[in-house]
Amino acid sequence: MALLLCIALSVQSQYKNGPAEKDFVGYLFTYFKGNDVKDEAICYAISRDGYNYRALNNNQPIIDSKEISATGGVRDPHILRCEDGKTFYMVVTDMTSSKGWDSNRAMTLLKSTDLVNWTASNINIQQKYKGQENLKRVWAPQTIYDAEVGKYMVYWSMQHGAGRDIIYYAYANDDFTDLVGEPKQLFFPKNGGSCIDGDIVNKNGLYHMFYKTEGDGNGIKLAITDNLASGKWIEQPGYKQQTRDAVEGSSLFRLTNSDTYILMYDVYMKGKYQFCESKDLDVFKVVDQEISMDFHPRHGSVIPITRWEMKAITDKWGVPSGFEMPTSKNPIIAGFYADPEILYAEKTGKYYLYPTSDGFDGWGGWYFKTFSSDNLKDWKDEGVILDHKKDLSWADGNAWAPCIIEKKTGKNQYKYYYYFSGGKEGEPKKIGVAVSDEPTGPFKDSGKPLVDFYPKGITGGQQIDPDVFTDPKTGKSYLYWGNGYMAGAELNKDMISLKKNTVKVMTPDNTFREAVYVFYRKGLYYFLWSEDDTRSPNYKVRYATAKSPLGELTIPENNIVIMRDDVRGIYGAGHNSVLQVPETDEWHIVYHRIHRPDGMNMPNGAGGFHREVCMDRMEFAEDGSIIQVIPSL
């Protein structure tokens, strides 16, 4: 238990990357087709529900086996999404059965960041290691992340001479191009018999290995451990396949947003696959009647994928006939993020998103990231740009609600001023500022808070949710902030200090909660804010207008900008920024919502800190009023 706690704490201390479970819209099945050399290659199929699969690329290989193997063929593809969420590892047997079942000595390690382009490294066990002269075969490699050692374990079966098949392991190097250290025996079956085709999954901190026995009651068995490299496995009684036919190549995956697991295996003498369901990984029920495929796979594996990943592979290899692609356009980035700020940078000609890192209990994220895009559709994770625990002296706690502005300082020279909420754990929140020469950072903190006081007459609320705005008429820049009240002030030319004599309380009415955002269009200054609590389904955006950056606010009779849409299951749409596409009158609102599909069902309002970033067009009536935005899926 102490070990598992240490592992959990270690994981919690890391940055979150890649998609959350909410982002998965389907599944990718990697497989090979048969024993002809032309069929010993990696193929792809996709599914929306995990039960019905359609082959990509007309059931033809997505990689030329001759380019990645020594034998000219590969089998048994196993695919894994890495801990960073955006890298994929695949391992395959380097083998063509036309040369005999005892003919291969190698495996191939593959790596990709888009599921389309793969780099490969061939590992010949006999050539790499001493004492392997009588090695007969290297079969069915797989990969799993070993959290205890922080490395990726590659495990596979080998037979030497007349001995039994044994499952071995070694750890991969950091770039997944080679194995480090001598192979060691992973599993020691009590009966001393052969075992192949190991497949390991982690469920509730326990590693479950499904494997095939050979020569002593052939079938799929299960062993469990809490330490991958310990050699101590608890073997479970009985066999897990639900057929009397010969089987091999079992692979397990969990249906997303569900506690149901699918165990699939190759019924190789019958040329078919069988699928079984389980919730406890002990009792399995056949669900073949619910399964459909337009291909005949051999020994493969399945992972869940996002709509962005599904689009990437179908853009490359086409959408299978009759396959229904996901139609949602929101959220625009994968993972849990909130409070989005959007910027078009003149320096780079790109768009940048600056959100709060969400998905932490009690809004406990302590770092900021940015994402870039050329087209407002495809977003690249540019990584962490400011870490409160590492980069600030005056703050180490929650990092909330950033905003940014680009300032031209010379020919092709720019500065980026990044304002954010933070503070020491247990102390009142403050607003800081950090500076960079690039929109992607690194950002250097000014060394002290910019706002650490209540405006005159204000005694409650928080100093959070800054917004920065430069008046196109005068070139002067302003900072706005507040939770429970709204304040504004002019910034000095250094952009890291306020003209305190200009601080003005501007709270529009009692609907104001937080998240002011200011922009200018056709002679009017627009002030947007969020009403209610971010945990509430009724969190929404309202607006007012003014004739100057600190002027008196005029509140329209109907001033809702965006709000919940029960029909679409969209709740808590708020805390926005606004983008004008350069040199156009095209506008977009970027906001967060409580994540779909089950954010509203999370206990104790936890959906309010498991949010996702969305974007929709924002339009204006002829009189300049904002037409209420209908949030989209």
User: What is the spatial distance between Cα 255 and Cα 262, in angstroms, rounded to a whole number?
Assistant: 7
Question: How many Cα atoms within 13 Å fall on the side-chain side of residue 271?
Answer: 5
The pTM of this model reads 0.92
- What is the pLDDT, as a whole number, of residue 397? 86
SS3 state at 3: helix
- C-alpha 180 chain-centroid distance: 28
Hey, how many other C-beta atoms are within 10 angstroms of the C-beta on 312? 17
pLDDT of residue 3: 37
Omega of the bond prior to 141 within 30 degrees of 0, cis?
Answer: no
Q: What is the 3-state secondary structure (H, E, C) of 275-304?
A: EEEECCCCCCEECHHHCEECCCCEEEEEEE
Block means of pLDDT (10 residues each) for the chain, 633 residues, are 36 76 97 95 97 97 96 97 95 95 95 97 96 94 96 97 94 97 95 93 95 83 95 94 90 95 91 93 94 94 97 97 94 98 98 98 96 96 96 94 96 95 93 98 96 96 97 98 98 97 98 98 98 98 98 96 97 98 97 95 95 98 97 96
Question: Do the strands 166-172 and 151-160 form a parallel or antiparallel pair, or are they unpaired?
Answer: antiparallel
At 7 the pLDDT is 37
DSSP state at residue 512: -
- Say if residue 442 is preceded by a cis peptide, omega within 30 of 0: yes
Closest CA to 241 of 288, 303, 304: 288
pLDDT at 268: 87
DSSP codes joined into one string, 453-510 = SPPTT--SSBS---EEEE-TTT--EEEEE-BSS-EEEEBPTTSSSB-GGG-EE---ST
Pairing of strands 52-55, 292-293: parallel
What local confidence, expressed as pLDDT, does residue 217 receive?
A: 67
- Which DSSP symbol is given to 311? H
**Burial tier of 611 (Cβ tally within 10 Å: 0-12, 13-18, 19+):** buried
Give the DSSP letter string of 249-274.
Answer: EEEEEEPTTSS-EEEEEEETTTTEEE
Q: Which residues partner with 414 through β-bridges?
A: 408
- Give the Cα separation of 401 and 420 in Å (integer): 6
Unique residue bearing structure tokens 């820049």 = 477
Which of these, 585, 437, 459, 578, lies nearest to 522 by C-alpha position? Answer: 585
- Distances in Å between the Cα of 367 and the Cα atoms of 19, 90, 328, 532, 605 are 17, 31, 28, 25, 22
Neighbours of 281 (CB within 10 A): 20
Coil/strand/helix, residue 400: strand
C-alpha distances in Å from residue 181, one per residue of 153, 166, 173, 227: 11, 18, 10, 19
Show Cβ contacts of residue 554 under 8 Å, excluding neighbours closer than 6 positions: 544, 545, 546
Residue 177 tokens read as 């191009």
| Contact predicate 466/419, CB 8 Å | yes
